[in-house]
Amino acid sequence: TMFLSTDQRERDSATAYRMTVEVLGTLVGATIQGQIVASAHTLKHCPHRNLTTGYLGNSSSGTEVIRSLKEVYMIAAGVIGGLFLVCTVVMFLGVKERDDPYAPKTDKAIPFHKAFILVMKHGSYLTLTAAFLFISVAIQLIQSNFVLFCTYAVELRDHFQNIVLTILMSAAVSIPFWQWFLEKFGKKTAAFCGITWIMPFTVMLVFIPNLIVTYVVAVSSGLSVAASLLLPWSMLPDVVDDFRLANRNSKGHEAIFYSLYAFFTKFAAGISLGVSTLCLQFAGYDTGACRQPTPVVYTLKLLIGAAPVACITTGLMILMVYPISEDVRLRNKLALEELR
């Protein structure tokens, strides 16, 4: 994104286009996988007349179900893996590498360990990363526990696939809206409005668990998911610009900024999965059971409702001290134009 254009507005538009295509790709992938594994979930579904039974049938039927699950998920993994390969080839052959348009040709790259220390000392980058680390943990908590929540807490297992597709469609459609919003009102304002939007709706889903409310929450959650995907990648180039002005004799650090942020995003996913697994284990989660104990249901409600709200609140409080306002962005833009 940094090298597509030296104009901040064009970079923001390119980021919005990229994230829209990414969400559409996720939507296509979820649709393909959902259709492939739908039969497996039908096989595993508990009979309504035997909901009090712990497991599905006898051991032989359980083994057949596991075998069927394995087969369809292997097929789905193969299809998605093939799509990954095609996309990787297209990117490798179609994207050309460009050098830093701001750095003088005589500059020499700083060694990685020194560049890493410089990046980790940059305050605006640490603030942005810490804020969206907590926000990413919140989103990941909802995503990783949503299927269990629909299955055991609100009895909406049959609608799970459609709910996920609704969230993704809402996110894909709303990314252009958030792009317009951030251009008009600023990126920090867009981040606060977009991320906080999901908080009341997740709480509503916990306390009013019915189908209509769930679809309303799905559409509303898509708005916040779009904001959480677009805003950090749109704000990151501004941090890199700010770093360039603070370290004018260095070059080639963009990969460190982007790779570290991607690492922290994956780290957030690991945190959410680890916390969810431990909480459900302590609550007495019974793998394969048709019904879960009451403490598990309460735990799922906390993981979907209270925990994400707490993480989002923490992230937004950190984002309040993010120093790059719209005035700072404009000043950095003018200063960088003088360097070209």
pLDDT truncated to tens, each residue of the chain (340 aa)? 666 666 778 888 888 888 888 888 888 887 787 777 665 555 455 655 444 444 444 455 557 767 777 788 888 888 888 888 998 898 888 877 766 655 555 556 677 788 888 888 888 999 999 999 999 999 989 888 888 888 888 878 778 888 888 888 999 899 999 999 998 998 999 999 999 998 988 888 888 878 888 888 889 889 999 999 899 999 998 898 888 888 877 776 778 888 888 898 888 888 888 999 999 999 888 876 778 889 999 999 999 989 999 999 999 999 999 999 888 888 888 887 777 6
CA distance 122 to 20: 29
203 lies in some domain: yes
2 lies in some domain: no
Please report, to the nearest 10 degrees, the dihedral formed by the alpha carbons of residues 284, 290, 294, 298 taken in order. 80
Contact 242, 124 (CB under 8 A): yes
Helix residue ranges, H only, the chain: 8-44, 59-94, 112-120, 123-148, 160-185, 187-196, 198-207, 211-246, 254-283, 294-304, 306-319, 326-339
CA distance 240 to 258: 9
pLDDT at res. 309 = 94
pLDDT at res. 152 = 85
187 lies in some domain: yes
CA distance 169 to 161: 12
What is the maximum span of the chain, computed from C-alpha positions, in angstroms? 76
pLDDT at res. 50 = 47
294 lies in some domain: yes
| Domain tally, the chain | 1
Domain with 211 in it:
8-101+111-339
1 lies in some domain: no
pLDDT at res. 53 = 45
36 lies in some domain: yes
CATH number assigned to the domain comprising residue 291: 1.20.1250.20
Task: Please give the angle made by the CA atoms of 336, 20 and 7, to the nearest 5 degrees.
Answer: 15
Residue 236 tokens read as 């990151």
79 lies in some domain: yes
Contact 308, 135 (CB under 8 A): no
257 lies in some domain: yes
